[in-house]
Amino acid sequence: MKDITSSDLVAPETMRDFNAFYQKLVNRQERLYRLDDFFGMGKAWIAFRYEDVSAILKDPRFLSDRRKFASQQQSSPEKSSVNELLEWFKSMPNMLMVDPPDHTRLRRLVSKAFTPRMIEDLRPRIQQIADELLDKVVSRGKMELISEFAYPLPIIVISEMLGIPGHHQARFREWTHKLAEGALNPGQANLVQEALQEFIDYIQSLISEKRVRPGNDVISGLLQAYDEGDKLNENELLSTIWLLITAGHETTVNLIGNGTLALLQHPEQMQLLREDPTLLPGAVEELLRYAGPVMITGRVADEDIEIHGTLIRKGEMVMVSLAGADMDASRFDGPERLDITRQETDHLAFGRGIHLCLGAPLARMEGQIAFGSLLRRFPNLRLDVKPEDLAYHYSTLRSLVSLPVSF
C-alpha cells in the first residue's frame, strides 16, 4: 500500500471526497500514522480517530506553541529576513498559537467582544448584509457564490466589529490565501514575503490610525490594553489583530461554500431544509461535521507520551485531523451520510479544549443566516458546473476557489 504523504492531506481529490481518503487511513489499522515530513517542518504523527483527536486537543502535555522547540529566537516582524518573517508568521504569538498563561490572558482580552449577547445583537445587521448581497445578483439569475456572497458576508461583519474601513476588505482574501499556501510550500518563501510584509504594514498603519481616532471597536480595545502596559506586547498585538481578521472570515467563507455545495449535492436534504427552516441550527452543525473548513491542526509534545503503545517523543509534532474525527464511524452513525436531522452534534469542527474556537457562535449565526437566506430567496438554486470540475486551494482548509451557481 502506498505511503500517505502530507501532500495527500491537501490534495484536490482529498477535498472532494474526504471519506475515501479517511478510509485509507482506517484500513491501515494504525491509531497514529507516521508522516515522514510535514510540509518541510520535519516528521510528524497524525491522529484521525475521534477519541484520539479529542483527547490530544484537551491534553495540556500537547502544546500549541511550537516556539518552545524552535531553534532560533523569535524576532519582531518589522526588521526580519524573509525566512524570519515566515517563522514569525507560522508561530505568531496569538491565542491560537500559545499556551497558558499567555493563552488565558490573550483570550480574556478578546472574549468580551464574542459573548453570546454581543453576537445575538449582531443578527439584524448580518441578515441585512446577506439580503443586500443577494439583492445585487438576483436579477442576473446566477452568481459566483464564493466571491459574491460567501466571502463578503463574513468579511464585512468582522471588519465592522474590528473597525476596519470597508474599502480595505478586498485585500484580505488575497493575502490570506498567499500566506496559507506559502506555509505549506517552503520553496515559496520569496513569493509570499511580499504579501506577509504588506499585511503587517497594513495592520501597523491601522494601529496608527486607531491611536489618533479610537472607536468603539475591538482593535481600539486591544490597543488600549497594549498602551496600559503588561497586558499585551507588540508582537501579540500584531498577531492577535491578524488572527481576528483571518479567522474572523476565512473559516466562515468555507463553511458557507462547502455547506452550499453539500446541500446542492444532496437535493433531498436541501429541500427538507427549505421546507422547514427550524432545522437550520442542526443543519449548520451537520454541515460543519460533514464538510467543515478546518481539516487539520497541530500540537507539539511537551514530554514523552505514549498513545496506544506508540511513543511520541518530546518535541515531536502531532497533527490532528478534525475532518477525520468527524468521519469516525465509532462516534457517528453512518458518518458518510449528510443528515441535517442528525442528533449526534458533538463534532470537532471548532476544535476542543482551551483552544475551542472563540468565534464559533458568530460562525454558527452567519451560517444559519447565509443558508436560510439562500434557500428562501432562490428556490431553484443549482450548481452550474460538474462537482469534479471544482477547484480547491492548496491549504489545510477545505476551501473552494469558486462555486458558480444559478437560480
CATH at 180: 1.10.630.10
Residue 363 lies in a domain: yes
Distance CA 303, CA 122 (A): 43
User: What dihedral angle (degrees, nearest 10) is formed by the CA atoms of 219, 222, 228, 230?
Assistant: -150
Residue 310 lies in a domain: yes
Tally of domains within the chain: 1
Q: Which residues, at least 6 apart from 137, have a Cβ–Cβ distance to it below 8 Å?
A: 143, 148, 149
Q: Which residues, at least 6 apart from 72, have a Cβ–Cβ distance to it below 8 Å?
A: 84, 87
- 19 touches 336 (CB < 8 A): yes
Distance CA 101, CA 60 (A): 12
Residue ranges making up the domain that contains 358: 6-406
Choose the weakest-confidence range: 135-139, 170-174, 326-330: 170-174
* Structure confidence by residue, pLDDT tens digits, 108-127: 888 888 888 899 999 999 99
In angstroms, what is the C-alpha Rg of the chain?
Answer: 21
Give the strand pairing for 296-301 and 62-63: antiparallel
Residue 81 lies in a domain: yes
Q: What is the rounded average pLDDT of the residues 327-342?
A: 96
Q: What confidence score (pLDDT) does residue 179 get?
A: 74
**Integer angstrom CA distances of residue 96 from 70, 280, 350, 358, 377:** 17, 29, 12, 10, 37
Residue closest to 399 by CA, chosen among 134, 16, 4, 3: 16
Residue 392 lies in a domain: yes
CB neighbours of residue 121 within 10 Å: 10
- Does the structure show a pLDDT above 50 at 388? yes
* Structure confidence by residue, pLDDT tens digits, 247-290: 888 899 999 999 999 999 999 999 999 999 999 999 999 999 99
- Does the structure show a pLDDT above 70 at 106? yes
Q: Which residues, at least 6 apart from 2, have a Cβ–Cβ distance to it below 8 Å?
A: none
DSSP conformational letter for 305: E
Q: What confidence score (pLDDT) does residue 225 get?
A: 81
CB neighbours of residue 209 within 10 Å: 15
Residue 51 lies in a domain: yes
- 222 touches 207 (CB < 8 A): no
Q: What confidence score (pLDDT) does residue 63 get?
A: 95
User: What dihedral angle (degrees, nearest 10) is formed by the CA atoms of 89, 93, 95, 98?
Assistant: 110
What is the average pLDDT value for the chain, to the nearest integer?
Answer: 89
Q: What is the rounded average pLDDT of the residues 236-248?
A: 88
Which of 352 and 84 is assigned the larger pLDDT? 352
Q: What confidence score (pLDDT) does residue 264 get?
A: 98
Distance CA 388, CA 405 (A): 15
* Structure confidence by residue, pLDDT tens digits, 22-54: 998 888 888 999 998 888 888 999 999 999 999
Distance CA 375, CA 259 (A): 12
What one-letter code names the amino acid at 131? D
Residue 1 lies in a domain: no
